[in-house]
Amino acid sequence: MLENIRIVLINTFHPGNIGAAARAMKNMGLSKLYLVDPKEFPHPEAESRAAGAKEILETAVVVDSLEQAIGDCSLVVGTSARSRSFPWPMLDAKSCASKALVEANNSEVAIIFGRERMGLHNEELMQCNFHLAIPADPAYPVMNVSAAVQVVCYELWQTHSEKSEQADSDSPQLYPSKQEMDHFYGHLEQTLRDVDFIIPQHEGKVMTKLKRFFNRGRPEQVELKMLRGVLSAIQRKQR
């Protein structure tokens, strides 16, 4: 299960944090590291901080965009230390580990960590099924990115070791990938425009709220196919 869970670092400024994250991953049995537009990589300091986890750096996948890093994942969790004006379903590290391990039985899972200074942007967080917050002392709640990776990887290893979710693996649920959900959102938006539910002059936040709804509800693959069929039927009737 751990083999299907990837750690995604976005726009990491300090190469030492990449190495420290790789070491944290190896400590806890994870091996898939994705780097989205890192400032400096490869770099000697990353190798130095990785210590015995250099093979994770050697096999790290470097991509230009978040979409490339998570397109084939069915579950995407984004870390965020700040409260948002537009709330999203939240997890703590332990509940994130439970969900990730159940889903990793059958598909790819991504856990995303943002920039050292500002974390993840709102548009990046909106591509996630859940947001993850790590509680800390309000007097100084800012956590180094590699330390956050260590906390999450620890919970993944603990939950994996305890086999707390093995009962769910008897009847696994199959969820669509991020890419398949993006196609659905495009289909949904076009259909709502066809029937004048979304009016160009007053679009509001219809799609943002619907994306939040479906990301929270997480339709299974079969259910998503049904929804696409409903949208296609509406379009045919409209024509």
- Concatenate the DSSP letters of all residues of 188-221 into one string: HHHHHHHTTSSBTTB-TTHHHHHHHHHHHH---H
Phi-psi domain of 145 (left: phi exceeds 0; alpha: psi -120 through 50; beta: other): alpha
- Pick from 26, 28, 34: which is nearest to 7 by CA? 34
pLDDT at 165 over 50: no
- pLDDT tens-digit series, residues 184-196: 999 999 999 999 9
Would you say the pTM of this structure is higher than 0.85?
Answer: no
Please write the tens of the pLDDT for every residue from 99-143: 999 999 999 999 999 999 889 999 999 999 999 999 889 898 889
For the domain covering 2-170, report its CATH number. Answer: 3.40.1280.10
pLDDT of residue 162: 86
| 161 alpha-carbon distance from chain centroid | 22
pLDDT in tens, 9-42: 999 999 999 999 999 999 999 999 999 999 999 9
Confidence of residue 84 (pLDDT cuts 50, 70, 90): low
* CB contact at 8 A, 41 and 72: no
Positions of CATH 3.40.1280.10 in the chain: 2-170
Whether the per-residue pLDDT at 171 is higher than 90: the answer is no
Summarize pLDDT for 43-60 with one digit per residue, the tens.
999 999 999 999 999 999
178-238 CATH choice from 3.40.630.30, 1.20.140.10, 1.10.8.590, 3.30.530.80: 1.10.8.590
- Residue 35, beta-bridge partner list: 9, 62
Residue 168 has pLDDT above 70, yes or no: no
Intervals of CATH 1.10.8.590 along the chain? 178-238
For the purposes of burial, counting CB atoms within 10 Å of the CB of 77, is it exposed (0-12), middle (13-18) or buried (19 or more)? buried
Q: What's the mean pLDDT when you consider all of the chain? A: 92
- Confidence bin at 83 (pLDDT 50/70/90): low
